[in-house]
Every structure is written in C-alpha cells, then in structure tokens.
Amino acid sequence: MQDVIDGFLKFQRDAFPERKELFKKLATSQTPTTLFISCSDSRMVPELVTQREPGDLFVIRNAGNIVPSFGPEPGGVSATVEYAVAALNVTDIVICGHSNCGAMTAIATCKCLDHMPAVANWLRYADSAKFVNEAREFTSEQERVDSMVRENVVAQLANIKTHPSVARALAQGHLSLHGWVYDIETGSINALDGATHRFVSLTEHPDVTATPASVRS
C-alpha cells in the first residue's frame, strides 16, 4: 500500500501542478465524448492505452468487460451506460476486451468457479459468446481463449444495444459503437468491422467501427 500512497504524493507534487488549469476546469464540469468499457484487469488501463487526459473518457471497468442486457432491475453498469448516453451525450462507446483475460479463460476452459459464486453468476452474461465459441473447433487452448475474448466483445455489443438510451441514440445517428481487443504483449488493438463482422488491425483501419454504415448515416 505504501507504493500507492507514494504515487499519490508524487502526483500531488509533480503531475497535479502541471495540469492545474485542466483540473480547475474539470472541478465543475465534464464533457467526455467516449464511454470506454473494459475489463478490471490491472494490465488494461484505458487512459494509458488511448493516451487520454482526465475528463476525456467516461469509464466502466468490470470482470470481463461485460454489459448485462437491459432488464427490469438495472444495475450499476446499466445506470452508468444510461448516464453516459442520455446525460453526457457521448458520441462513441468502446467495449474493449484484452489478451490473456482471466474471466474469458475461465469460461473457455470450463474452469470450476464454485469457490467464487459471485464471479460465476456475473460471467453468465457472457453465455451467448460461450455457446458460439463452443460450436467451433480449435487447434489449441490458446486459440480457444483468444476466440472467446473476441466473441465476448461481440456479445456485449449486442447486449448494450438492448439499452433504451443506446437504441435511441443509434437510431438517431448520434452514437457509434466500437469493439476492440487489446493485446497486452504487443500493444496492438484489433477492432470489429461492422460491415464484415471481422476483427481487423486498428492501426491499418483507424476509421473502422462496429456500427454498420447504414446505422450511422
């Protein structure tokens, strides 16, 4: 814990003064343009990967970068999505999975989670991705896990479309969806192309989105 405290003291001493005007502005308002939904994994830091400053991203982080479908008893993720879209008027939503994801590895390899019932229950929101993945054949366990990470991003994009605020913003052409998979070792990102339903290099295709052009027009 001491290293965390030392980090804060360094922030207060060095980083904060350099951004004093930014924090003064942020003290009374925020205008993020992107809702970024990622895994809680300590190796995935949205602001670092996207090189964004405080105030630029509205962030949700949880085990498996999951977005439950909208239901009669909305939870924290649903409330945060709704606030981002209806109150902050974000123009983009990114759902970002990552390599070597513990949650997706547990699902793909059918790891017993009896000792973590809350985790097991939470990961049921990835069941549709699990069923799709199980219908495929793989040459290695790593290939199976990598596929599960991608299929989960696809599934969560489908889930988020069930949220009324998201559905309305998409219908009005005010919102674009993005499905990303971040590779920890290489620092690369593959993004879902909504037109071809394939993941492509974001470096080579920086304009690709998961939202078909017909929806954005």
Residue pLDDT, tens place only, 130-186? 999 999 999 999 999 999 999 999 999 999 999 999 999 999 999 999 999 999 999
pLDDT of residue 214: 52
Q: Which of 95, 81, 90 is nearest to 155 (CA)?
A: 95
**Best CA proximity match to 165, nearest among 56, 82, 88:** 82
- In the block, tokens 């949650």 appear at 103
Strands 189-193 and 176-182, bridge-based pairing: antiparallel
Q: For residues 16-29, give the mean pLDDT.
A: 95
Known catalytic residue at 41: yes
For the record, the structure tokens of 79 come out as: 């409330």
Residue 19's CB is within 10 A of a number of other CB atoms, namely: 14
Active site residue 101: yes
How many C-beta atoms surround the C-beta of residue 116 within 10 A? 14
Torsion of CA 145, 184, 101, 5, to 10 degrees: 170
Residue of 96, 98, 146, 178 with catalytic role: 98
Q: State the pLDDT at residue 48.
A: 96
pLDDT for the residue numbered 58 = 98
Any catalytic annotation for residue 43? yes
Fold of 32-216: Beta-carbonic Anhydrase; Chain A (3.40.1050)
14 DSSP 8-state letter: I
User: Is there a catalytic annotation at residue 150?
Assistant: no
Catalytic site includes residue 127: no
Instruction: Show the tokens assigned to 196.
Output: 């071809």
The answer, yes or no, to whether residue 122 has pLDDT greater than 80, is yes
What does the pLDDT read at residue 71? Answer: 84
Average pLDDT, the chain: 94
pLDDT over 90, % of the chain: 94
Domain extents in the chain: 1-30, 32-216
Which token pair is 177? 């969806």
Tell me what pLDDT residue 75 has: 86
Token duo for residue 50:
């996207």
d(CA 46, CA 178): 14
Amino acid at 20: K
Residue 35: Cβ within 10 Å count: 25
Q: Which of 6, 13, 14, 41 is catalytic?
A: 41
Q: What is the DSSP letter of 140?
A: S
Question: For residues 38 and 64, what is the distance between their CA atoms, to the nearest angstrom?
Answer: 7
Residue 77 banded pLDDT, cuts 50, 70, 90: very high
From CA 134, how far away is CA 124, in angstroms rounded?
15
